[in-house]
Amino acid sequence: MLTQELKKLKLQSELISVSRDCSDEDLTGTIEFVSDDAVVMCLYTDDGEYDGFTLFETHQIDCLFWGNREHEAIKLLVNEYGEHKKLKLHQQSFESLLFELAETHSQLCFFHQQEEDSFDIGEIKAKDKEWIKIHTYGPKNSLSRLHKLIRIDTITRVTVDSPYQNKLLELFNEQL
């Protein structure tokens, strides 16, 4: 039932919120891609501003909801202030979508850990069946890069093209 409903909401371009078992925060946006294995959403803030694309596994969804006053207000703001980009994807599984995004974007935000309290922004430098090696950009307060190995099965979500990520990349390009 879940995948069918998600596909219907995608066709209707409905603004939805998703609660997931690995996070205390809901994701709000429109569905760009859905399969039995993975979901990609175009995210928006409560102010209707574009907030990038995110990829996560379908089985993480605990609840999804739409159509309340808050959603209607955000939709109005999206129409007024939001930027809606499209993302063309060809893969189906979470892992293959992750690597497809890595091919088309210079950096990704990797959320990993049970409660998504930890994330790294970086580029994939190497991969095998179980691990990825990333070169991180580090937080704004240190602007210090490092290499990190992350087990693929610990990645709970991946985000691309968010304003925060893009601004952090700009700071690194300034070579402060």
Q: Which fold has domain 94-173?
A: SH3 type barrels. (2.30.30)
Contact 55, 94 (CB under 8 A): yes
Do 2-81 and 94-173 come out as alike in CATH topology? yes
Structure token pair of residue 136: 């991180």
Q: Which pLDDT score is estimated for 24?
A: 84
Average pLDDT over residues 106-110: 92
Q: Which fold has domain 2-81?
A: SH3 type barrels. (2.30.30)
Task: For residue 131, give every residue at least 6 positions away whose Cβ sits within 8 Å of its Cβ, in sequence order, or none.
Answer: 149, 150, 151, 152
pLDDT digits (tens, 9 = 90+) for 1-28: 999 999 999 999 999 999 998 888 899 9
pLDDT digits (tens, 9 = 90+) for 23-75: 888 999 999 999 999 999 999 999 999 999 999 999 999 999 999 999 999 99
Helices (H), the chain: 2-11, 69-81, 94-104, 163-173
- pLDDT band, very low/low/confident/very high, at 150 (cuts 50, 70, 90): very high
The domain locations on the chain are 2-81, 94-173
